Amino acid sequence: MKLYKQLLIVTSILVTIFIWYLFFQQEYFTEWKSCQRNYRNLLIEKATTSDTQRLAEDYPIQVRQNYIEDLNEIDRCITCHAGIDNPQMAQEINPYKTHPGNYLE
């Protein structure tokens, strides 16, 4: 019986570690957060004044969304594609570059 208790304790510890790993993986290492950190770094690099530098440094890392009333849809694409309407990002790579053409007008 003692062996079963030890196995139960070891298994419980391993399951707990695995659950914590999944939690941290989902909360802290998500792709959209990485995209926004990179976008913030691009904003800081492109800042030309101390005010724009400060604004870039304060760029919040968060889920962004638009509500499209005509379609009754929520669009979260701008969470990763944050530079879609920023003319400074015209020459950057995806997902940071501006949207091509005038589709957004």
**Residue located via tokens 């030890």:** 6
Give residue limits of the domains in the chain: 31-89
Q: Which pLDDT tens digit goes with each residue over 57-87?
A: 999 999 999 999 999 999 999 999 999 989 9
Round to whole Å and give the CA distance between 53 and 56.
5
Region of residue 64 (phi > 0: left; psi between -120 and 50: alpha; otherwise: beta): beta
Round to whole Å and give the CA distance between 88 and 105.
17
Confidence of residue 100 (pLDDT cuts 50, 70, 90): confident
Q: Which pLDDT tens digit goes with each residue over 10-65?
A: 999 999 999 999 988 887 788 899 999 999 999 999 999 999 999 999 999 999 99
> 105, exposed or middle or buried, with CB in 10 Å at 0-12, 13-18, 19+?
exposed
Query: Model pTM?
Result: 0.71
